[in-house]
Structure 1
Amino acid sequence: MCTGKCSRCVAVSLYPLALVSIICNIVLFFPGGETKYAQDGHITEEVKYMGGLVGGGLLVLLPALYIHMTGQGGCCANRCGMFLSIAFAAVGVAGALYSFIVAILGLHNGPLCRALVIWSTPFKNRDDSYLNNRNLWSLCTEPPNVVEFNVGLFSTLLVTSGVQLVLCAVQMVNGLFGCLCGSCTNKGPL
């Protein structure tokens, strides 16, 4: 496969992944579909880090746009453009890695919820994981179904950022080949 076509394929794959990351992070601000928890400051700490919005969203979307332009014929489809795509893909790797780490922390620490009478993170610093024991999930009484909500969305962010990480790494290698060997363009007969 030509390095330009590979760049276009990577970029087109990154667009929906960045959109999913952004949507997941925004939805995490509204557990149970309610705005009152965000207004009262009862949001899980890892949601406030905005790993999906900033990391897996903007820091992947901007490189995807440049990588897509690199794959097109014209001024960017040259050795210099492919070299710059390595730097942009590295930014994408950093963003995806940030989103990945925040998602892992969100899954590990669990949600902020009302446990009995106080708002806390009841699953944080436990010896056993709440992910393996659904009976522990009943500790959270408010917002309703917040554990399932957080696990679902942080898991989606984890998978999405993992795929983004792989795609951006592939583009770094592709950009290196394009920089060293040149990008192939369809040249007509002389």
Structure 2
Amino acid sequence: MCSGRCSRFIAGFLYPLVLISMICNVLLFFPGWKAEYALERRLTPEVLYMGGLVGGGLAVLVPALFIHLTGNHGCCANRCGMFLSIGFSVIGVAGALYSFIVAILGLNLGPYCRNAFFLWGRPFQDSSEMYLTNLDQWTICKEPENVVAFNVGLFSTLLLVSCLELVLCFCQMLNGLVGCICGTQTQ
């Protein structure tokens, strides 16, 4: 098994996932494709936790860069570099886990919106029914327009991306252990 080549492979998949995670989190700041809701602080609280920017983004980008360097010829492709990649992968796992938890909360509690009575709040937060499977309930939110579909789509994407990041960072932890014990071959 070539642990150096595996490191480059893992880093190559982490980069686009980091980008997708960051883009999804930024888009969540613009429900209805308008900035006014962010300026008025009428956002779902989970958007402000920035799980996609901080967790699935920056906390995974740093390990991805180091993992990529670990797989390069003559750079860090040695036992020490592979050992350090285990530590960096733990940071990536923690970041992806944070993004995962924030996405689950965002999906579970629902969006912040204005209902038919002109009241702002989270109408699905204390609901006994699961709003995700009952599309008829989505019409409760009148403003921002299509906010339920918007939040569900982006938080679901963050959920999927964070799962993939978790798996890849965990695989790098195992790869780093093998490379640390057996040494690396980057050819």
The alignment partner of 2:42 has SS state of coil
Task: Tell me what 2:88 maps to.
Answer: 88
Task: Tell me what 1:138 maps to.
Answer: 139
Where does the alignment leave 5 or more consecutive residues of structure 2 unmatched?
A: none
- Superposition TM-score, scaled by structure 1 size: 0.96
Task: Tell me what 1:162 maps to.
Answer: 163
**Length, aligned pairs only:** 186
Q: Name the aligned partner's letter for residue 34 of structure 2.
A: E
Deviations 1:54-97 (A, max 9, x none): 00000001100000000001130100000000000000000000
Task: Tell me what 1:120 maps to.
Answer: 121
Instruction: Tell me which moved more, 119-128 or 18-27.
Output: 119-128
Task: Tell me what 2:185 maps to.
Answer: 184
The answer to whether 1:25 aligns with 2:29 is: no
Task: Tell me what 2:7 maps to.
Answer: 7
CA distance in 2, matches of 1:14, 1:136: 36
Q: Name the aligned partner's letter for residue 128 of structure 1.
A: E
CA distance in 2, matches of 1:134, 1:173: 42
Partners of 2:14 and 2:60 within 8 A in 1: yes
- Superposition TM-score, scaled by structure 2 size: 0.98
Q: Following superposition, which runs of at least 4 residues in structure 1 exceed 2 angstroms of deviation?
A: none
Partners of 2:72 and 2:186 within 8 A in 1: no
Where does the alignment leave 5 or more consecutive residues of structure 1 unmatched?
A: none
Q: CA deviation at 1:125?
A: 2.1
CA distance in 1, matches of 2:10, 2:127: 40
How does 1:72-87 map onto structure 2 within 5 Å? 72-87=72-87
CA distance in 2, matches of 1:46, 1:110: 10
Partners of 2:71 and 2:186 within 8 A in 1: no
CA distance in 1, matches of 2:98, 2:30: 22
